[in-house]
Structure 1
Amino acid sequence: MSREDQAVAAASRRSPEPPIHGPEGFEGMRRAGRLTAEALDLLVEATQPGVTTEYLDRLAFTFAMDHGAYPASLMYRGYPKSICTSINHVVCHGIPNDKPLREGDIVNLDICLIVDGWHGDSSRMAYVGEVPRKAQRLCEITYESLMRGIQAIRPGGSTTDIGHAIQSFAEAERCSVVRDFCGHGLGRVYHDAPTILHYVEASYDVPLKPGQFFTVEPMINLGRPSVKVLSDGWTAVTRDRSLSAQFEHTVAVTETGYEIFTLSPKGLDQPKPQV
């Protein structure tokens, strides 16, 4: 079995219950999360007007190969690229192409790297040159939504705490939370239990326990929450063509709270404010 086939196979073995990981898992996820964050630092710094998302994809693949890692999304369920690049009204799963980025665009850069069998998954918004204030505000609200969701994580709590923290803040800022996509457990498996909703759903509530690993990755729209998937089967866009933003971290539940595995070594977790 090729390295690519092994990665795809490992990514698809979802557990019936959220796995509980020990010290080995934490160490593995720290390595994977750190390298994923370094890759995003590289991609964010390379995101400029005139650059193509295809170039960013090649940059990510080369970085992964040079560091003994593998992009988890590449050929996962047929997805053709190493990263997702979602621009302006694209909510998620935008496929890199040869169209240059334009001044004023906002773009979500989403990458998951497999390092020694462990998955680090993260995404950030990047500004392409000078962007409109409304786009900056959306990114700021989305990042704050992410961090409020993460700060709600504690042993003895539940997934509903995360969704409530995100939804209550985003909607108070007159934005909407996308319902069609969610966070997910991961570790040695790409998409595992538990599912992490970014809003409150009364019928779904999973207890949080030390040793659980998952992503928190809210998608926040300036307009309505409705999305549609384009004919390529991947690209999801806002139905009203309003701007959308997303930030994502891979986290663990610890004995005292949480640990974020994918923090930027350069402090580039969110775009710098523009004057």
Structure 2
Amino acid sequence: MAIKGLAVPVFGNYHYNGLSVVYTDGFAAGAAIEYGIEVETSDNNPLHGDNRIIENDYGTFNTGTLTLNTSDLDQETSIRLLGLKEVKIDVGEKEVTELVTDDDMKQTPKGFGIIETHQINDVNRYRAVILCKTTMAIPAEAATTKGESIEWQTKEIEGTITRSDENTENYKHPWKREAWFDTEKEAMEYLKTILNVLERVEAVSSEGTSVGKTRLIITNRTEGATYKYNTKEQASKYKQDLSKWTEFPEDGEIEAETGTVIYLAKTDLTGKAIGAGEVTAVTKEV
């Protein structure tokens, strides 16, 4: 048996409700290059008697460090992972989006997941690993100029692993969970379900063709995919049942007051959420 591959680093925002832990707004953080986990435990405390160890208080998990090497941290990922502030400024006639690291920045705990590929007796098996509560630190910055050939440069980021607050029958302050699968798709389904990883649905709104209507365009629409919308609630869970949501119209025009937040979702063939987003309505007034 040996590890021969690594894929799909994902994160989800950590929330403790007083009893159990849930994860929201899951997202992929680039492509996996390498990762490592170092763990610190308390020392064993043996009791000696009759010239041997007769009892032992075994060491337990104290803390750990996650080191993740990923293909890159783009603006969207940096905002969601590190809590950076987004500021828009004018540069000449163009509006530019800055990411600002300042006193307002607050890193929050995340659940982390990744998939290892193992070969066992010439058959691939997939180990999905989840670190239950990890707080990522600001990564170091480094880059090398381009020479005669490209030297690929990736991002390395570290995080502190702590035990989860969850204390239930099945989970007594866990710090790691894992499951094994026959396919990478099944392993990814596990991570998406636990960490609530929804695709981003991006849209713009403009005045519709008649009074009281707005025209929505999904800018990253997948050909052949099904989309729905709602003005009351947003899709917050992967595979959430959206059968009561309204089908997205072919022309993209719906009735809504200016300023209304319209929640959008991409659904699978059974009407369950696999993507989510929102847009603020711009409505034709006169």
Q: Say which structure is richer in strand.
A: 2
In the superposition, the TM-score normalised over structure 1's length comes to 0.29
| Larger radius of gyration between Structure 1 and Structure 2 | 2
